[in-house]
Structure 1
Amino acid sequence: MTRIKDKVVIITGASGGIGEATAMLLAESGAQVVLGARRLDQLEAIASRIEKSGGKAAYQVADVRRSEDLSELVQLAHEKFGKLDVLINNAGVMPMSPFDDLRIEEWGNMIDINIKGVLYGIAAALPTFRKQRSGHFINIASTAAYRILPNMSVYAGTKLAVRAISEGLRQEAGDKLRVTIVSPGFTSTPGSTNSDALEAIKDPEMKAKLEAYQNIALSPYAIAKAIAFAIEQPEEVDVSEIVVRPTAQG
């Protein structure tokens, strides 16, 4: 993947799941990765694995609910590697519950992380991308943005918002910046396999479907490869949207 080599890539939500897989794959392909997440111990472990394999990584604790944390990740990229080529807005949460549970705090947290976190990432990186007249935003949405299921309505709403924000950004970006939406189907990540989340589902049919999805879930590396594909394209090629789902997912 010659076009990935030497690119500087920020990844939020990099301490596990899709973020971790993407960090490892891009580093193996020669990218210099800047990792942000809330779990310091996981960031340290992933960066250590990358460096032991001959890759380059920097990391910093970052909570995407804080705009200043995203700005500090951009600053870290410049300090460690001298530039920024790609920002992957990957951090997200997926709690599931029926509306009747009235989990208002949970809804607010999803909005703060899944929507505001993406906006804060855009705000942090856009001035740099404009100044250097190049840059690539990759925003992680979900197949939930295409098909709304019971008990996932608020989550789906946040991912629909990510699609809308990304498409608007693409149209405003001009001919020098790229914007890609990657929408994973059911993927084996810490959030999707959380037993507490499954226990919260009271609808037996919905719960059975989600439990069955555990058996068909994609590896996070399948999503990482889709992200790498978008980055790998020539600078004049903007892969606007990629949907990746298990063949068995309805």
Structure 2
Amino acid sequence: MSLKDKVVLITGGGSGIGADAAQAFYSAGAKVVLNGRREDMLSQTAQKIDPTGKDIAYVVGDIGRAETSSLVASLAVEKFGGVDILFNNAGVFQPKPFLEHTQTDLDGYLNLLRGYFLMSQAAIKAMQKRGGGAIINIGSMWAFNAIAATPCSGSSTAKGGVHALTVNLAIEFASANIRVNAIAPAVVETPLFDGLLTSEQLAAFNTFHPLGRNGQAKDITEAVLFLADHDRSGWITGTILPVDGGVAAGRN
């Protein structure tokens, strides 16, 4: 693995996929900077991963605000010497019929897209000084396939933007040795679904996936580690990788 001593930024790092990825990067020898909106969750995750605080740090705030994204990158440079990897993982998801979406709903989704954009800007500036890097964005299976049972036009509009951002940055910064890829998950059992679905409702989605089960955080983490590791994926950029239990292959 080429992740030892790499400096990794993770948005949405307080729980779920972000926290799982943070633990995996740390275990691989990387130094990690977490971001999220809740200090209690970030602090708890950071303490659990590295009680000494030597190889982990966090920044509380909304990456949809330029000052927050800049602060995440600048803290990584100040504490760890630079930025090598960005995992844009922050997410919001609430299935809702199109005509019931409010402007506030849409603003929230587009703010998330803005956050991926601004966080990528801040990270790339630091990566250029290191001679390269890798960005992994979380997109969505729903940006490829609309599912009648889960209408989510607001979220899918933003995630479609994430997919477009991914391929555009991949081409623009290929000559700078900065690889940009995205992962498009289907249903992954994380706190993102807390309050949206009961455990029984969530379990009902198992059969939606051809492989017969919902995803787990570790399924996404393994793909993130692969795309972040130059030794294993150094000739891959501009890819939107479905990690979805087979949903993209066709209807089950």
How would you bin the TM-score normalised by the shorter chain?
A: 0.7 to 0.9
* Letter paired with 2:127: F
2:132 and 2:21 map into 1 onto residues whose CA distance is 21
Q: For 1:212-223, what aligned pairs fall within 5 Å after superposition?
A: 212-213=204-205, 216-223=213-220
Structure 1 unaligned blocks of 5 or more = 200-207
Q: Which residue of 2 aligns with 1:5?
A: 4
Change (3 A) 1:105 1:54: closer
Q: Find the residue that maps to 2:119 and give its secondary structure.
A: helix
Q: Which residue of 1 aligns with 2:106?
A: 107
Change (3 A) 1:236 1:218: closer
Q: Which residue of 2 aligns with 1:204?
A: none
1:79 and 1:55 map into 2 onto residues whose CA distance is 13
Q: For 1:163-174, what aligned pairs fall within 5 Å after superposition?
A: 163-174=163-174
* Letter paired with 1:76: L
Q: Which residue of 2 aligns with 1:128?
A: 126
* Letter paired with 2:138: I
Deviation at 1:55, TM superposition (A): 7.4
* Letter paired with 2:205: Y
How many pairs were matched up? 238
- Contact 1:129–1:177 (Cα < 8 Å) also in 2: yes
1:172 and 1:130 map into 2 onto residues whose CA distance is 13
Deviation at 1:184, TM superposition (A): 1.3
Q: Which residue of 2 aligns with 1:18?
A: 17
Structure 1 window deviating more from structure 2 (146-155 vs 52-61): it is 52-61
Change (3 A) 1:238 1:50: same
Q: Which residue of 2 aligns with 1:205?
A: none
Tell me the percent identity: 32
1:106 and 1:142 map into 2 onto residues whose CA distance is 18
Deviation at 1:32, TM superposition (A): 0.5
Change (3 A) 1:122 1:103: same
Q: Which residue of 2 aligns with 1:43?
A: 42
**Which residue of the other structure, out of 230, 238, 241, is the alignment partner of 1:233?**
230
Deviation at 1:130, TM superposition (A): 2.4
Change (3 A) 1:210 1:98: farther
Q: For 1:1-250, what aligned pairs fall within 5 Å after superposition?
A: 1=1, 3-52=2-51, 56-113=55-112, 115-150=113-148, 151-175=151-175, 176-191=177-192, 193-195=193-195, 197-198=196-197, 212-213=204-205, 216-234=213-231, 236-239=234-237, 240-247=239-246, 250=252
Q: Find the residue that maps to 1:246 and give its secondary structure.
A: coil
RMSD (CA atoms): 2.3
Change (3 A) 1:94 1:58: same
Q: Find the residue that maps to 2:191 and give its secondary structure.
A: coil
- Contact 2:98–2:152 (Cα < 8 Å) also in 1: no
* Letter paired with 1:101: E
1:242 and 1:218 map into 2 onto residues whose CA distance is 14
Q: Find the residue that maps to 2:204 and give its secondary structure.
A: helix
TM norm structure 1: 0.87
What's the CA shift string for 1:41-80, capped at 9, x where partnerless?
A: 1111111111149972111102122111010000110111
2:23 and 2:103 map into 1 onto residues whose CA distance is 36
